């Protein structure tokens, strides 16, 4: 597992990162960890890895609402961790995420 420091609190973890210098390829990021970053919304850069992202950790932040586009973005997402954030409900179209098998959303005021 390769770990790149974004800031002192935020990490991007990639399982497979081909060297763009030699191959001219994009980075393949399958895991993003934004846990404990004090975020109030889902970072926009998350959406740039929509084809390869399998695990997304947004737990222990102050995110109260998921963007509606999140459900269409979750093409490859298998595991989504958003516990202890303040999420009150999930977008209705989250059921369109065919690969999503685990949503860890405990300790949230989820109403529906």
pTM over 0.95: no
Kindly list the structural domains of the chain, giving each domain's residue range(s) and its CATH number in brackets, ordered by start: 31-104 (3.80.10.10)
Q: With bands split at pLDDT 50, 70 and 90, how would you rate the model's confidence at 22?
A: very low
- Phi and psi of 79, rounded to 5°? -125, 125
Model confidence pLDDT, tens digit, residues 23-79: 455 678 899 999 999 999 999 888 888 888 899 999 999 999 888 887 777 778 899
Tokens representing 110 are 């989820």
Residues 53, 43 contacting (CB under 8 angstroms): no
22 near 46, Cβ under 8 Å?
no
């Amino acid at each position: 597992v390769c770990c790149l420091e974004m800031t002192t609190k935020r990490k991007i973890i990639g399982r497979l990162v081909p060297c763009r210098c030699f191959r001219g390829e994009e980075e393949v990021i399958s895991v993003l960890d934004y846990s404990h970053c004090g975020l109030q919304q889902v970072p926009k850069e998350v959406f740039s890895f929509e084809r390869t992202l399998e695990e997304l950790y947004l737990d222990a932040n102050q995110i109260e609402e998921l963007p509606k586009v999140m459900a269409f973005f979750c093409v490859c997402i298998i595991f989504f961790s958003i516990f202890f954030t303040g999420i009150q409900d999930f977008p209705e179209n989250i059921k369109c995420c065919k690969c999503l098998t685990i949503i860890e959303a405990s300790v949230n005021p989820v109403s529906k």
